[in-house]
């Protein structure tokens, strides 16, 4: 089960009131004269949109400062003149904690602001955070430059379908408010050749006797760990989640198929053991895995770009002042290792700016013209169809334009960064000591041009052989499903691989029940066919019988919907309606609701079902049921973890 977590766009943006260091205050005052663009990124889209806004500002000779939110001191926000926020929606559309602080209504009275949100209208709360943030900024006295922009992944051009026209309105409105930001006038445009300038990174090549990475007193695994640390610390992506907590290594001990062979779906149960000391985690937590790239693809990329795989390199930002202290130890590593661990060359699609820079290095005229068209507003839709819709990889794009030979510095800056993939943990540290279990569905799809595609991480994990002594680099993080106390009644809804975190919940409560009374659990599971994809069927049945924690005699229950085992489809919400009275009774006893699974229709369908149950069983109008459920959310008793 692959889980995509949308980061709280302002999760660290808390007005703490801490004072700026004296050495920074002058610089902060200078920054006030610039257009400030703040963003938070998890998948890279928010950073890409923010960088596009920054480049468009530079094209108009408008001074701009571009920062991730966690590098900006929130207490200085009222001192800014103009701020653009680029935000994406969180898992449940939660309001960031920083926006819940009690602040005066005139806190931002001197600040002009604009908000652009990135979302997907297929999600339950489309662009909820952008809408909430826009309202909160206005409530604090901020002055909106233009109406908030709402990017939609469902648009034929993706979020750029809204970003381009929004930016056009932004510049004209901003010029009317503060013409001093445009010293050469609104219509002045810096030539592209002058604007592109130099890449933001510097590659330094080292002699072979400078290599200190593979030390004689380190094991192979220790050497790999150092390579991961050094490579990702040197990457221009910075990988803040990597640096905020150390990674560890897990050894795969089991890789078993949960679905029937040849049923059209490949879902795996994977088990790992800690290599050294165990990391503390709780049920509901998330495991991030750094996937391994296909060695053949890496070699093909290095050949295509005329790179020396064995060269020893270090990477650093060209802006040394801002980069000070970012790399505590610059240890040269092999160029191939750096590519393998930081540059996603064969699964992620390049961004629009990649094509713009490519056009400057194309020597064949027809390729240069096509690349310029792709990078232009007129070619936006065609680029989206060629690139994002087809999930064209960096390697494929480079092979489609053979006359382009980009410097390695530009490739390091522009190739999408190799990101960790997040999975819900399906084990309990109490029930499975020193172990971590995952439920992984192998992602596969067909593009509009009938090309077969597979998820990089899920396919790689599914093909690993535990007998080969496989070790995987991982990071632990908190998920959106808090670990419940034994005395808390639970209503769990987890169709498909959404059952993964609840396997850990139930395994842990079963252990807890041996030492004292525990609250009941209602679990609603759904799959297509009983014979094909009834995941963990023996586990659920065992705990629903003979006084188990899911048994009806303990006040709980396990109810499964097989959607395609009969002519009329049956889903989890239908089973919920069948047991609406039991759900209502458990809600009355203080139960918390946990929902996990696909992010498209399921979460909204389940919420509507709860609204109907509350209305029916509580004897109240639908509007009152909606308010009751919203109160349940605000009280921290309704949790959703959804993924694409």
**Any binding-site annotation on 245?**
no
Whole-number Cα distances in Å, 545 to 85, 534, 548:
53, 17, 5
**Any binding-site annotation on 456?**
yes
**Any binding-site annotation on 570?**
yes
**Any binding-site annotation on 43?**
yes
What torsion, rounded to 10 degrees, do the Cα atoms 356, 362, 368, 373 define?
-20
CA angle 123, 128, 133 (to 5 degrees): 155
Distance CA 243, CA 349 (A): 25
**Any binding-site annotation on 200?**
no
Whole-number Cα distances in Å, 207 to 186, 234, 258, 266:
50, 18, 50, 47
**Any binding-site annotation on 101?**
no
**Any binding-site annotation on 132?**
no
**Any binding-site annotation on 65?**
no
Q: Please list, residue by residue across 451-461, b when 16 or more beta carbons sit within 10 angstroms of its beta carbon and e when fewer do.
A: eeeebbbbbbb
Structure tokens at 215: 């030390």
Residue 521: enclosing H or E segment and its boundaries?
strand 521-527
**Any binding-site annotation on 447?**
no
**Any binding-site annotation on 467?**
no
**Any binding-site annotation on 605?**
yes
**Any binding-site annotation on 497?**
yes
Q: What are phi and psi of 357, to 5 degrees?
A: -70, -40
The residues near 538 (Cβ < 8 Å, ≥ 6 apart) are none
**Any binding-site annotation on 320?**
no
Q: What angle separates helix 352-361 from helix 45-59, to the nearest 10 degrees?
A: 50
Structure tokens at 604: 């909204």
**Any binding-site annotation on 153?**
yes
**Any binding-site annotation on 91?**
yes
Contact at 8 Å (CB) between 289 and 470? Answer: no
Residue/partner pairs of 394-398 with CB below 8 Å, 24 or more apart: 394/301, 394/343, 394/344, 394/345, 394/346, 394/348, 394/349, 394/350, 394/354, 395/297, 395/300, 395/301, 395/304, 395/345, 395/346, 397/350, 397/354, 397/355, 397/358, 398/301, 398/304, 398/305
Residue 204, beta-bridge partner list: 314
Structure tokens at 371: 């690349």
**Any binding-site annotation on 249?**
no
**Any binding-site annotation on 537?**
no
CA angle 352, 305, 225 (to 5 degrees): 90
**Any binding-site annotation on 457?**
yes
**Any binding-site annotation on 82?**
no
**Any binding-site annotation on 46?**
yes
**Any binding-site annotation on 571?**
yes
**Any binding-site annotation on 88?**
yes
**Any binding-site annotation on 45?**
yes
**Any binding-site annotation on 422?**
yes
**Any binding-site annotation on 248?**
no
Residues belonging to the binding site for NADP(+) are 497, 563-564, 569-573, 605
Residues belonging to the binding site for FMN are 41-46, 88-91, 153
Residues belonging to the binding site are 41-46, 88-91, 153, 391, 421-424, 455-458, 497, 563-564, 569-573, 605, 643
Residues belonging to the binding site for FAD are 391, 421-424, 455-458, 643
């Amino acid at each position: 089960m692959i889980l995509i977590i949308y980061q709280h766009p302002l999760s660290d943006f808390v007005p703490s009131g801490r004072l700026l260091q004296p050495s920074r205050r002058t610089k902060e005052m200078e920054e006030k004269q610039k257009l400030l663009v703040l963003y938070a990124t998890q998948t890279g889209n928010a950073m890409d949109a923010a960088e596009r806004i920054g480049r468009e500002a530079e094209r108009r000779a408008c001074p701009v400062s571009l920062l991730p939110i966690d590098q900006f001191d929130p207490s200085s926000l009222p001192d800014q003149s103009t701020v653009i926020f680029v935000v994406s929606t969180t898992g449940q559309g939660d309001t960031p904690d920083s926006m819940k602080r009690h602040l005066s209504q005139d806190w931002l009275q001197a600040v002009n602001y604009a908000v652009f949100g990135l979302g997907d209208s297929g999600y339950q709360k489309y662009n909820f955070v952008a809408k909430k943030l826009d309202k909160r900024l206005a409530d604090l006295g901020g002055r909106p430059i233009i109406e908030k922009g709402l990017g939609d992944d469902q648009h034929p051009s993706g979020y750029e379908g809204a970003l381009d026209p929004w930016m056009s309105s932004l510049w004209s409105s901003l010029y009317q408010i503060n013409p001093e930001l445009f010293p050469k006038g609104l219509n002045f445009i810096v030539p592209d050749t002058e604007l592109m300038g130099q890449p933001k990174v510097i590659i330094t090549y080292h002699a072979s006797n400078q290599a200190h990475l593979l030390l004689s007193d380190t094991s192979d695994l220790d050497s790999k760990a150092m390579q991961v640390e050094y490579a990702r610390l040197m990457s221009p992506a910075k990988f803040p989640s990597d640096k905020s907590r150390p990674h560890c290594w897990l050894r795969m001990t089991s890789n078993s198929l949960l679905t029937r062979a040849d049923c059209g779906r490949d879902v795996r149960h994977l088990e790992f053991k800690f290599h050294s000391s165990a990391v503390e985690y709780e049920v509901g937590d998330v495991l991030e895995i750094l996937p391994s790239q296909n060695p053949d693809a890496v070699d093909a990329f290095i050949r295509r770009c005329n790179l020396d795989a064995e060269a020893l390199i270090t990477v650093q930002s060209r802006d040394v002042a801002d980069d000070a202290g970012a790399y505590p130890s610059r240890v040269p590593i092999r160029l191939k290792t750096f590519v393998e661990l930081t540059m996603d060359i064969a699964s992620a699609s390049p961004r629009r700016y990649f094509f713009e820079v490519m056009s400057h290095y194309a020597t064949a005229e027809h390729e240069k013209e096509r690349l310029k068209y792709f990078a232009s507003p007129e070619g936006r839709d065609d680029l989206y169809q060629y690139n994002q819709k087809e999930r064209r990889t960096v390697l494929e794009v480079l092979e489609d334009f053979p006359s382009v030979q980009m410097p390695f510095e530009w490739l390091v800056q522009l190739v999408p960064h190799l990101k960790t993939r997040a999975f819900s943990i399906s084990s309990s540290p109490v029930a499975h000591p020193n172990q971590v279990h995952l439920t992984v569905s192998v992602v596969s799809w067909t593009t509009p041009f009938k090309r077969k595609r597979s998820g990089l991480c899920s396919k790689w994990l599914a093909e690993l052989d535990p007998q080969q002594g496989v070790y995987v680099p991982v990071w632990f993080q908190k998920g959106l499903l808090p670990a419940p106390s034994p005395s808390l009644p639970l209503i769990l809804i987890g169709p498909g691989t959404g059952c993964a975190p609840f396997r850990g919940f139930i395994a842990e409560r079963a252990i807890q029940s041996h030492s004292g009374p525990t609250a009941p659990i209602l679990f609603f599971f759904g799959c297509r066919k009983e014979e094909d994809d009834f995941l963990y069927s023996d586990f659920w049945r065992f705990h629903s019988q003979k006084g188990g924690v899911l048994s009806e005699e303990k006040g709980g229950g396990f109810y499964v919907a097989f959607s395609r085992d009969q002519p009329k489809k049956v889903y989890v919400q239908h089973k919920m309606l069948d047991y609406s009275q039991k759900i209502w009774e458990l809600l009355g006893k203080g139960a918390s609701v946990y929902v996990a699974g696909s992010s498209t229709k399921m979460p909204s369908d389940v919420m509507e079902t709860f609204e109907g149950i509350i209305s029916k069983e509580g004897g109240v109008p639908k509007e009152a049921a909606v308010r009751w459920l919203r109160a349940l959310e605000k009280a921290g008793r309704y949790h959703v973890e959804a993924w694409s």
